[in-house]
Structure 1
Amino acid sequence: MTVVAVAGLALTGCSDPGTPSDTLPTAASTSAEPTLEPLGPADFPVPPEAREQTEAGAAAFVRYYIQLINRAQSDLDVQYLDSFSQGCETCAVLSQGLRSLAEQNFTVQGGAISIVSIAPPTLDGAQAEFVVSLAQDEFTVLDAAGAVQQALSAPAAEFPASGGLTEWSPQTSSWQMTQLTVG
């Protein structure tokens, strides 16, 4: 009986023959969440969940960064790897290696890195420490003529003892990779 009475009251408010509003509320007046400037490649931006200063946000950023590494291996463009790392030696070595391949007109076939498992990151202020198990598919490096560069190619590998640190950047409202250990 109470539900019927409440429903009746709600419907009576709609029966007012007054003039309807000519405008709809704006997005700013209906959303309390601020909009973030897109980061990353236009066709592969940092996902919103990776732009939260939480454990889940740090984990989402790590997943995004690994996919960004895969993208950089594919197109040999390290611009975004560099922009999302800050003082990360492993990241710098990876970027330099890919940059060197690009300068020699080499290409990489295969080599996708996947996350086998990731433990929830440990948040300590603006830093998040993570432990991750990685696997990398076999990859082949080809020179400009299409010849295999055996010394630069590698079989599939697993790296169960990997991890690192990310740091929150208030300027970009995103995480930055500050340490990456692959092992």
Structure 2
Amino acid sequence: MAGLAVAAALVGGCSSKHEANDTLPSASSTAASPTLEPLGPADFPVPDEARTQDAAGAKAALRYYLDLVTHQQAKDGEPLRALSRNCNLCLSLADRADKDAASGYEVEGGKATITSLSEPAISGPHAEFSFSISQSAVEVRDRQGVPVPDRGSAEIPALTGAAAMDWNETKQAWIVSFLSFERS
């Protein structure tokens, strides 16, 4: 899953936040790789491990994207848009990040932890996954530090998800084309 916003997206409106996953691949800067154009926010670049057109790269890219959602909560949604195409939930999460930033909201909690992640089913430049995550409690506060009604959530111990990604030859990166979650 500032935060993954999975709970709200899954069960009613993309309104909660998640913290970054502890198992994210190392954030080696793509700026160090002369062949790869940097992608992602400057303070949270797409790691080189997520920029290979194979199963390991697809898994690293999905982990990164889920953590990017968390990283961008109440910030600029553009990095989420740049790494997705035709993904309704991705656009909703990006729009929510923009709206929360414009409202001056702060998001606490919402740490998303991937509890299982399938090997991707890869067909040419397309990868599909199933996975499970848990999410810690979330609280959204306004500029005065007051909780925003109907924007937080209790801990959600089990969510199941599905994702599809497509390899983008120009960006040399996996781009999310589908993302969904539901309570287990």
Band the TM-score falls in, shorter-chain normalisation: 0.7 to 0.9
Letter of the 1:127 partner, please give it: H
Separation in 2, partners of 1:103, 1:46: 25
User: Which gives a bigger RCO, structure 1 or 2 (Cα 8 Å, sep 6+)?
Assistant: 2
Residues 25-174 of structure 1: pairs in structure 2 closer than 5 A: 35-73=35-73, 75-174=74-173
Letter of the 1:170 partner, please give it: E
| 4+ aligned runs moved over 3 Å, structure 1 | none
Specify the alignment match of 1:14 in structure 2: none
Return the TM-score normalized by structure 2. 0.76
Separation in 2, partners of 1:37, 1:94: 24
- Structure 2 stretches of 5 or more lacking a match? 1-32
Separation in 2, partners of 1:64, 1:174: 11
Specify the alignment match of 2:174 in structure 1: 175
Find the residue that maps to 2:72 and give its secondary structure.
Answer: helix
Q: Measure how far apart 1:34 and its partner are.
A: 6.9
Identity %: 35
Q: Measure how far apart 1:35 and its partner are.
A: 2.2
Letter of the 1:119 partner, please give it: S
1:78-116 Cα deviation digits (max 9, x unpaired)? 121111011100111111122211222111111122211
RMSD: 1.6
Separation in 2, partners of 1:177, 1:159: 22
Query: Are 1:108 and 1:140, in contact at CA under 8 Å, matched by a contact in 2?
Result: yes
Letter of the 2:50 partner, please give it: A
Query: Are 1:66 and 1:114, in contact at CA under 8 Å, matched by a contact in 2?
Result: no
Q: Measure how far apart 1:38 and its partner are.
A: 1.8
User: Larger helix proportion, structure 1 or 2?
Assistant: 1
Query: Are 1:59 and 1:120, in contact at CA under 8 Å, matched by a contact in 2?
Result: yes
What is the total number of aligned residue pairs between the two structures?
Answer: 150
